[in-house]
Amino acid sequence: MDVIEAIRTRKSIRGYKPDPVPKEVLRDIIDIATWAPSSMNTQTWEVTIVAGEALDNIKRGNLEMMASGTLPSPDMPRDAFEGIYRQRQVDLAIQIFQLMGIAREDKEKRAEWMQRGFRFFDAPAAIILSADRSLDESWTLFDIGTISQTICLAALNHGLGTCIEGQGVMYPEVVKKYTGIPESKRIIICIAVGYPDWDFPANKLESKREPVESVTTWCGFD
């Protein structure tokens, strides 16, 4: 697949077929993705790939945490979005809820949708990206960003869909319990992976982008 086509084809997939993803395929994706750039080639990423019973345990553990009212305490917490960023977040939610037929006031269905994220959107596999706590946080995040996108692009080559998601690792204690990732590592993000269910309404989402002129400043051009 041509690189431009891959970039334009990739989208977040939030509904998957149950078919398992072969280990060799996942291995090939990581093999390609580790060619992503990193700060001074430090390759700060650590990759944990979870499927089967281990992933089922994490999905269940996450839902139990939610049901018990335990507040998430991710290894990489973030502040709430404000202003235009909040607006874009709301726009995305409106698009998803419209496709899924979830009414704004339907708290139950909204909660169900939230749970879906904590279940890795029912994907058969998840890639957990973590890094050593001794590392500088901001540069490491940059490295994890480059490998994340590269994983998502490489996955397309195998007909796989992905969704980079913070939700799956909001309870790092659950993920660590069932993967053996030690406390000395910071779990940064995860990526749900599987064969897309194209009949799933949210997969029809066409997310928006700002035009070039609104994100670009030209200097030294006529």
Ligand X SMILES: Cc1cc2nc3c(=O)[nH]c(=O)nc-3n(C[C@H](O)[C@H](O)[C@H](O)COP(=O)(O)O)c2cc1C
In whole angstroms, give the CA distance from residue 123 to residue 51.
9
Three-class SS state of 21: coil
Tokens 């053996």 locate to 180
As given in the structure block, the two tokens for residue 36 are: 């992503």
Closest approach of ligand X to the CB of residue 10, in Å? 7
In the bound state with ligand X, the residue whose beta carbon lies nearer, of 32 and 92, is: 92
In whole angstroms, give the CA distance from residue 163 to residue 176.
20
Closest approach of ligand X to the CB of residue 219, in Å? 28
Closest approach of ligand X to the CB of residue 144, in Å? 9
In the bound state with ligand X, the residue whose beta carbon lies nearer, of 164 and 174, is: 164
Cβ atoms of 192 and 162 closer than 8 Å: yes
In whole angstroms, give the CA distance from residue 70 to residue 195.
32
Cβ atoms of 122 and 116 closer than 8 Å: yes
Q: Which residues bind ligand X (CB under 6 A)?
A: 11-12, 14, 92, 117, 163-167, 189, 207
Q: 10 Å Cβ neighbour count for 7?
A: 13
- Burial of 174 from C-beta contacts in 10 A (0-12 / 13-18 / 19+): buried
In the bound state with ligand X, the residue whose beta carbon lies nearer, of 124 and 196, is: 196
In the bound state with ligand X, the residue whose beta carbon lies nearer, of 80 and 219, is: 80
Closest approach of ligand X to the CB of residue 220, in Å? 31
The terminus-to-terminus CA distance of the chain in angstroms comes to 36
In the bound state with ligand X, the residue whose beta carbon lies nearer, of 166 and 178, is: 166
